[in-house]
């Protein structure tokens, strides 16, 4: 006859696989002496994932403003070559007459 080891606790797991203190999509047996620490760690992971998703959402209006992007330095204007309406790379490819 098999005996269940000590310190096996049924813990809730959310859809991302994080342990949760209450609820969860499913319950799994976990061998641990500190189930509260695992579920608190899982809830912290869940909050971090939500914050990352909100930060990536371009339509998020939560007040967190992205730092302004650095403007690219303007390049000095290129010297214009004799223009006859044909791009330079086409002339290079087919030869210019």
pLDDT of the residue at 14: 83
**Does 34 reside within a domain?**
yes
Cβ atoms of 11 and 19 within 8 Å: the answer is: yes
pLDDT of the residue at 78: 61
**Does 6 reside within a domain?**
yes
**Does 50 reside within a domain?**
yes
pLDDT of the residue at 15: 83
Give the pLDDT mean for 79-93: 70
Give the pLDDT mean for 49-62: 78
Residue with tokens 């998020």: 60
Q: Convert 4-43 to b/e letters by CB count within 10 Å (16 or more is b).
A: eeeeebebbbbeeebbbeeebeeeeeeeeeebeebbeebb
Is the pLDDT confidence value at 79 over 60?
Answer: no
pLDDT of the residue at 83: 61
Range of the domain at 6: 1-57
**Does 95 reside within a domain?**
no
For the chain, how are helix, strand and coil distributed in percent, rounded to 5?
30, 15, 55
pLDDT of the residue at 97: 59
């Amino acid at each position: 006859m098999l005996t269940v080891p000590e310190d096996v606790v049924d813990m809730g797991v959310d859809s991302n696989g994080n342990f949760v203190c209450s609820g969860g999509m499913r319950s799994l047996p976990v061998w641990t002496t500190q189930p509260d620490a695992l579920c608190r760690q899982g809830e912290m992971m869940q909050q971090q994932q939500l914050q990352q998703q909100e930060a990536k959402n371009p339509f998020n209006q939560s007040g967190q403003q992205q730092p302004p992007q650095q403007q690219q330095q303007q390049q000095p204007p290129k010297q214009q070559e004799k223009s006859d309406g044909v791009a330079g790379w086409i002339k290079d490819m087919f030869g210019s007459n």
